[in-house]
């Protein structure tokens, strides 16, 4: 093996003393390790990443390294981040959130094919901080038909990472439920003044919904400039299951991206533009379907690498226009009015972080600001005079400052300490309602007036802190313990939903909700312990957590105004502060049987319940496991996978949640590396065409002879997929 001019002796030692195929280059800069390791097979990469923990400080101190690169390398090493490398996936799923099931503790609340909402250890939605290339995106739709990962199509990603357990305070502003970072593939600067090109072309198809995917990304770069052009088009028909079609799960999305990077000396700049057009796409678990989502995204970042200190900064902007209806895809339900909801969501943000090092470790200090504004208007196809302002100029602004310290206490002990302060300011414009000739109109107008006359502006001052300790017991074993306080202020839906609606950021429980101007911020205290074992042919990583949440925001039947009689409340639920706790564990293990055969497994368990009353939390993933056996040869590999999901009978009574039966699925997939540049991949999901329902998949809201309304939506039937990747 070529160990190049590696400056870190331990690293060279590792490379020289393993037979890791593909580990041919050791760069002088530790930042360059990361891309190179991708060429290793997964097993060796795991070992590699774990070994890096031993040279954490070594790599930190050897060269001026990017804070985030270090963080990524180091935390992966410590099993603090689960990273899914998209180049290694074989699926053609349009929904990046669905890929999260590969990471321990993670799952997805699925409301439609492009609308997956990440769930991590029982928390989801705005409780999880999602960034795409460092930008925080606020969904445009009040029901999160476009969750933040909607703007990170799987085919364009380089990696999707989720912080394991307690996220560092630097990972995002509000990380009470965790933090996810999606990274788009952007190519590399080269070493010479000559321009050369790199590219990734991917085409795929699948049988379950006649899904098609074409994605092209081309980069021209030299050592100073890097220009990227990328395009994506994907579509699918309604998906099938054992007994028929799942109406409406069709989708279509097109996207173009332009990027320009410039680096000179210690300075680097990156400017990115993206335009996303999502067309007719179903959301069978929600009351409406997507007609369009037009989004423009822009960001500019500037980084400086100094001697022993670095600066990273970014500004970003996004504008989202979204239209949906309850009649253009699905059949209008009897007795319902044909309604059109148009919504806009704009967000702006800034992030600045400085890191520097001293003898004992690194400091990271930062400032971030994020501002979002939302409008949502409802009109009627057949009635010109009908107009309801669901949200009007609903604003949410968060300013945060943080300080983080990573310290090597001695050869065995390492710590991470973090402190963050967030100030959350929210406000809303006045709302209006008109429905000429309708009996209820006067009452609605009175409620709009009462809302407008309320004090709509609120402030929260939130403090987060994190303390983690790692102990390396021996060469192969390390122990971990962490405690944290994390906060989250109410979303604009939870606060400003003045008219009773299902606009709940995708809860999909079929309930109408009212917002609450008096909501306090959620405060979670969490304790987490873990053990990581890493031997040459065996790795095992276990985490157990307990989280107590004060003022958890949950819909309850308290304080709902009624229409003259208590038996006639104006909404099913109103957002209120309650108390909750979540606890559980997740495990990831790998066993290399010999040079070719390996076993991989994940087990996830979480329990979520109310503390103030005897009830469970809503939409919590049941106990589940994924076990795969892989045969890996030089040019091809094949995996057979079993996914077992337990029943969920600890469901929320408050949300009238239905229990779900357990099920088992068998999947298989594989690839053939035809040449250095061409790879063919494919597989069959749900090989046995089993009929099942995912507890996180919601209930059918669409007229469909194959599925009753109100029944749990079935999972997709047998799906044969194939994909070709061309990379240079
Ligand atoms: Cu929508």
pLDDT tens, residue by residue, 424-439: 999 999 999 999 999 8
* Residue at 93 is within a domain: no
Report how far ligand 1's centroid is from the alpha carbon of 527 (Å).
Answer: 37
* Stretch 537-553: mean pLDDT: 97
Can you give the CATH number for the domain in which 421 is found?
A: 2.40.170.20
Report how far ligand 1's centroid is from the alpha carbon of 651 (Å).
Answer: 26
Q: Which of 18, 48, 67 is the last residue of a domain?
A: 67
Report how far ligand 1's centroid is from the alpha carbon of 504 (Å).
Answer: 11
Residue 72 pLDDT greater than 90, yes or no: no
Q: Same domain, yes or no, for 62 and 185?
A: no
* Residue at 482 is within a domain: yes
For residue 525, the model assigns a pLDDT of 98
Q: Which of 49, 67, 85 is the last residue of a domain?
A: 67
Residue 79's pLDDT band, with cuts at 50, 70 and 90, is low
Torsion of CA 709, 714, 717, 723, to 10 degrees: 110
Report how far ligand 1's centroid is from the alpha carbon of 142 (Å).
Answer: 6
Whole-number Å distance between alpha carbons of 682 and 637 = 11
Residue 209 pLDDT greater than 70, yes or no: yes
For residue 491, the model assigns a pLDDT of 98
Report how far ligand 1's centroid is from the alpha carbon of 647 (Å).
Answer: 30
Residue 74's pLDDT band, with cuts at 50, 70 and 90, is very low
Whole-number Å distance between alpha carbons of 401 and 365 = 8
For residue 136, the model assigns a pLDDT of 95
Report how far ligand 1's centroid is from the alpha carbon of 153 (Å).
Answer: 18
For residue 25, the model assigns a pLDDT of 32
The answer, as to whether pTM is greater than 0.85, is yes
Q: Both tokens of residue 594?
A: 């010999």
For residue 696, the model assigns a pLDDT of 98
For residue 21, the model assigns a pLDDT of 36
Give the 3-state secondary structure of 584-597: EEEEEEEEECCCCE
Number of alpha carbons in the 13 Å side-chain half-sphere of residue 600: 17
Angle at 319 between CA 455 and CA 342, to 5 degrees: 70
Q: Same domain, yes or no, for 56 and 185?
A: no
Number of alpha carbons in the 13 Å side-chain half-sphere of residue 236: 31
* Residue at 142 is within a domain: no
Greater confidence (682 vs 50) lies with: 682
Chain Cα centroid distance, residue 349: 19
For residue 28, the model assigns a pLDDT of 32
Number of alpha carbons in the 13 Å side-chain half-sphere of residue 340: 14
Total domain count, the chain: 2
Residue 87's pLDDT band, with cuts at 50, 70 and 90, is confident
* Residue at 101 is within a domain: no
Q: Same domain, yes or no, for 183 and 61?
A: no
Report how far ligand 1's centroid is from the alpha carbon of 168 (Å).
Answer: 32
Report how far ligand 1's centroid is from the alpha carbon of 494 (Å).
Answer: 16
Report how far ligand 1's centroid is from the alpha carbon of 623 (Å).
Answer: 31
Residue from 86, 88, 57, 89 nearest 73 by CA: 57
Report how far ligand 1's centroid is from the alpha carbon of 516 (Å).
Answer: 22
For residue 564, the model assigns a pLDDT of 82
* Residue at 73 is within a domain: no
* Residue at 678 is within a domain: yes
Q: Which of 67, 86, 108 is the last residue of a domain?
A: 67
* Residue at 159 is within a domain: no
Q: What percent of the chain has pLDDT over 70?
A: 89
Report how far ligand 1's centroid is from the alpha carbon of 343 (Å).
Answer: 7
Task: Lowest mean pLDDT of 89-93, 254-258, 465-469, 555-559, name the range.
Answer: 89-93
Report how far ligand 1's centroid is from the alpha carbon of 340 (Å).
Answer: 10
Residue 144 pLDDT greater than 60, yes or no: yes
Report how far ligand 1's centroid is from the alpha carbon of 259 (Å).
Answer: 29
Residues with CB under 5 A from ligand 1 (ion): 141, 145, 324
Residue 54, domain extent: 1-67
Q: Same domain, yes or no, for 537 and 665?
A: yes
For residue 71, the model assigns a pLDDT of 29
In the chain, what are the helix, strand and coil shares in percent, each to the nearest 5? 10, 50, 35
* Residue at 368 is within a domain: yes
For residue 80, the model assigns a pLDDT of 86
For residue 205, the model assigns a pLDDT of 98
Report how far ligand 1's centroid is from the alpha carbon of 192 (Å).
Answer: 47
Q: Same domain, yes or no, for 489 and 350?
A: yes
Report how far ligand 1's centroid is from the alpha carbon of 275 (Å).
Answer: 18
């Amino acid at each position: 093996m070529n160990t190049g001019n590696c400056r870190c002796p331990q690293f060279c030692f590792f490379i020289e003393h393993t037979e890791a195929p593909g580990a041919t280059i050791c760069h002088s800069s530790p930042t360059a390790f990361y891309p190179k390791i991708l060429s290793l097979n997964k097993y060796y990469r795991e070992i590699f990443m774990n070994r890096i923990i031993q040279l954490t400080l070594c790599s930190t101190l050897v060269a001026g390294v990017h804070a985030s690169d270090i963080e990524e390398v180091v935390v992966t090493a410590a099993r603090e981040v689960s990273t899914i490398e998209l180049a290694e996936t074989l699926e053609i799923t349009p929904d990046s959130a669905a890929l999260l099931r590969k990471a321990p503790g993670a799952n997805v609340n699925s409301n439609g094919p492009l609308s997956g909402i990440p769930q991590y250890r029982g928390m989801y939605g705005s409780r999880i901080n999602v960034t795409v290339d460092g930008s925080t995106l606020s969904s445009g739709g009040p029901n999160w038909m476009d969750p933040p990962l909607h703007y990170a199509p799987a085919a364009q990603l380089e990696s999707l990472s989720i912080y394991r357990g307690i996220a560092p305070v630097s990972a995002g502003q509000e990380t009470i439920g965790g933090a996810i970072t999606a990274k788009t593939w952007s190519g590399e600067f080269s070493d010479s003044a000559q321009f050369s090109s790199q590219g990734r072309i991917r085409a795929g198809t699948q049988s379950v919904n006649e899904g098609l995917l074409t994605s092209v990304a081309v980069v021209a770069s030299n050592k100073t400039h890097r220009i990227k052009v990328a395009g994506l088009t994907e579509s699918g028909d309604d998906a099938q299951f054992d007994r028929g079609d799942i109406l409406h799960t069709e989708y279509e999305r097109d996207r173009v991206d332009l990027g320009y990077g410039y680096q000179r000396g210690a300075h680097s700049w990156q400017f990115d533009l993206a335009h996303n057009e999502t067309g007719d796409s179903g959301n069978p678990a929600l009351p409406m379907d997507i007609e369009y989502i037009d989004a423009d995204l822009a960001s500019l970042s500037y980084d400086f690498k100094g001697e022993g200190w670095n600066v990273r900064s970014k500004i970003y902007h996004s504008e989202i226009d979204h239209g949906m209806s309850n009649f253009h895809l699905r059949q209008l339900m009897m007795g319902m009015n044909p309604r059109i909801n148009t919504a806009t969501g704009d967000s702006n943000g800034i992030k600045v972080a400085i890191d520097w090092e001293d003898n004992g470790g690194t400091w990271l200090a930062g400032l971030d600001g994020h501002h979002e504004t939302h409008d949502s208007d409802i009109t009627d196809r057949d009635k010109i005079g009908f107009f309801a302002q669901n949200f009007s100029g609903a604003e949410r602004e968060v300013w945060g400052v943080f300080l983080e310290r990573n310290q090597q206490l001695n050869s065995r002990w390492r710590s991470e300490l973090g402190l963050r302060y967030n100030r959350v300011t929210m406000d809303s414009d006045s709302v209006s309602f008109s429905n000429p000739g309708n009996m209820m109109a006067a009452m609605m107008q009175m409620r709009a007036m009462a809302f407008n006359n309320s004090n709509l502006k609120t402030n929260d001052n939130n403090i987060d802190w994190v303390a983690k300790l790692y102990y390396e017991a021996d060469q192969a074993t390390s122990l971990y313990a962490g405690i944290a306080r994390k906060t989250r202020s109410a979303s604009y839906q939870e606060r400003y939903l003045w008219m009773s609606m299902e606009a709940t950021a995708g809860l999909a429980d079929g309930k109408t909700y009212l917002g609450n101007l008096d909501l306090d911020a959620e405060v979670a205290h969490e304790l987490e312990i873990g053990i990581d074992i890493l031997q040459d042919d065996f790795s095992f990583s276990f985490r157990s957590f307990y989280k107590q949440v004060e003022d958890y925001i949950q819909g309850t039947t308290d304080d709902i105004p009624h229409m003259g009689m208590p038996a006639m409340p104006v909404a099913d639920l109103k957002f209120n502060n309650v108390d909750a706790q979540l606890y559980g564990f997740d495990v990831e293990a790998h066993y290399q049987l010999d040079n070719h055969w390996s076993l991989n497994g994940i087990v996830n368990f979480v329990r979520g319940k109310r503390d103030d009353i005897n009830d469970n939390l809503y939409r919590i993933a049941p106990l589940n496991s994924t076990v795969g056996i892989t045969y890996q040869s030089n040019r091809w590999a094949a995996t057979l996978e079993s996914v077992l999901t337990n029943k969920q009978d600890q469901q929320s009574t408050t949300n009238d949640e239905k229990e779900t039966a357990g099920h088992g699925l068998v999947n298989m997939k594989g690839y053939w590396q035809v040449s250095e540049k061409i790879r063919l991949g494919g597989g069959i999901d749900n090989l046995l065409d089993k009929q099942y329902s995912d507890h996180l998949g919601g209930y059918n809201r669409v007229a469909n002879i194959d599925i009753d309304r109100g029944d749990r939506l079935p999972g997709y039937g047998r799906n044969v997929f194939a994909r070709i990747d061309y990379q240079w």
